[in-house]
Structure 1
Amino acid sequence: MQWQLQDAKNQLSSVVKKASDEGPQIISVRGKPAAIVLSMEEYHRLTKPKTLLTDFFKDSPLHDLELDLERNKDFPREVEL
């Protein structure tokens, strides 16, 4: 939902409740979006540090799986020059 700044000021508790219940609330100034009120849950979700790829693999349930990374040398690859 979009709120004019004056309305958002006058109804701040409603803006905050709607941010928690319904999602982000946009506050506009002179008809242009200027700010957003988010729930703390949404804020934490958006600002959560990204997982490094190495940590992702380390934390994977398959991290102990042995992989055969040996290349099959039976058939050479043809390369056009």
Structure 2
Amino acid sequence: MSVWPVQHAKARFSELLDACLRDGPQVVSRRGTEAAVLVPIGEWRRLQAAARPSLKDLLLASEARSEALVSPRGQARR
């Protein structure tokens, strides 16, 4: 992963994009501090899909259980 100062990234964006597609993610820095990453769209979509749980995962998760929210039968206050 290469680091591009923002001035070079702006001036040579086509080269930055080609390097991203050819070599993978490219880091853009501002004043010596890493500020952003340019990643190929395929990798971005893969990361987005991995970060989003499926409906099945949500339903099977222990946090999805609602038994604790309902009082036992016959013991509810009126």
Residue 53 (structure 2) pairs with residue 50 (structure 1): yes
Query: How many pairs were matched up?
Result: 55
Q: Kindly indicate which of the two structures has a greater share of residues assigned to helix.
A: 2
Query: Would you identify which runs of 4 or more consecutive aligned residues in structure 1 move more than 4 Å?
Result: none
Amino acid in structure 1 at the alignment position of 2:23 = E
Amino acid in structure 2 at the alignment position of 1:43 = W
TM-score by length of 2: 0.63
Deviation, structure 1 residue 50: 3.2
> Cα RMSD between the aligned structures?
1.7
- The percent identity for this pair of structures is 31
Deviation, structure 1 residue 28: 0.3
TM-score by length of 1: 0.60
Note the alpha carbon deviations across 1:19-75, whole angstroms, 9 max, x for none: 1111110000000000110100110011013342878xxxxxxxxxxxxxxxxxxxx
Amino acid in structure 1 at the alignment position of 2:53 = K
Amino acid in structure 2 at the alignment position of 1:7 = H
Unpaired segments ≥5 residues, structure 1: 56-81
Unpaired segments ≥5 residues, structure 2: 61-78
Larger Rg, first or second structure (1 or 2): 1
